[in-house]
Chains A and B, each alone.
Chain A
């Protein structure tokens, strides 16, 4: 059974970088599909942030394009999110997913000094 698990700091200071890891078990990330990061803001608003494909190409939401980077470590079957220059508006629960079928449990990240 495929499982995804996010990990990373729950608190980040404004202007710093947010870095999260998604560890995947039960499926090899180079075998197929795209591997996405999505976030849910306080309230109900959801935002798709971007993905890294099974071949390693990336696609980002233009609203984040200058701040976001998604990379991977195929030897560990993990992919990563880096979001630079964060503000309090980046406070959200961050999910990784094998779009659209399998999602991690999510990790809450607060941006605060």
Chain B
């Protein structure tokens, strides 16, 4: 199975601070069809996961543009440009290029 390693496991931020989360894959996530199936999800406390970013860098409808995704191959990054209180929760990267789909271990974003 593809192993996704997220760092850091916990992130403390102040409101307005910009932060980044890294997701490294044990294999390239470039599919033979040319797409890279790497998504970012946010799970707020008491809520189900919410899709933020799909195909590495495409912003899901309704998601604020302070969220951005980048990367290729095995290294990916989620950036939040100016954390807001509603951004607190656990962030996951998840891949569906290779079967079975696998998740990163999660990054918990807390207020400092």
**Chain A interface residues toward B at CB < 8 A:** 44-48, 59-63, 95, 99-101, 103-106
Cβ of B75 under 8 Å from chain A: no
- A100-B39, A104-B48 known; A44+B105 contact, CB < 8 A: yes
Contact A48 B90 (CB under 8 A): no
Contact B103 A103 (CB under 8 A): no
Give A95 Cβ to nearest chain B Cβ, in Å: 6
Residues of A within 8 A of B90 (CB): 44
Contact A105 B101 (CB under 8 A): no
**Chain B interface residues toward A at CB < 8 A:** 39, 41, 47-51, 54, 60, 90, 92, 94, 96, 99-103, 105-106, 108
Contact A48 B48 (CB under 8 A): no
Residues of A within 8 A of B60 (CB): 101
Residues of A within 8 A of B92 (CB): 46
Contact B100 A100 (CB under 8 A): no
Contact B100 A95 (CB under 8 A): no
- A48-B100, A59-B99, A105-B48 known; A100+B106 contact, CB < 8 A: no
Contact B48 A103 (CB under 8 A): yes
Residues of A within 8 A of B54 (CB): 100
Residues of A within 8 A of B49 (CB): 46, 95, 103
8 closest residue pairs by CB, A with B:
A44-B106, A103-B48, A48-B101, A46-B103, A61-B100, A100-B51, A100-B39, A101-B51
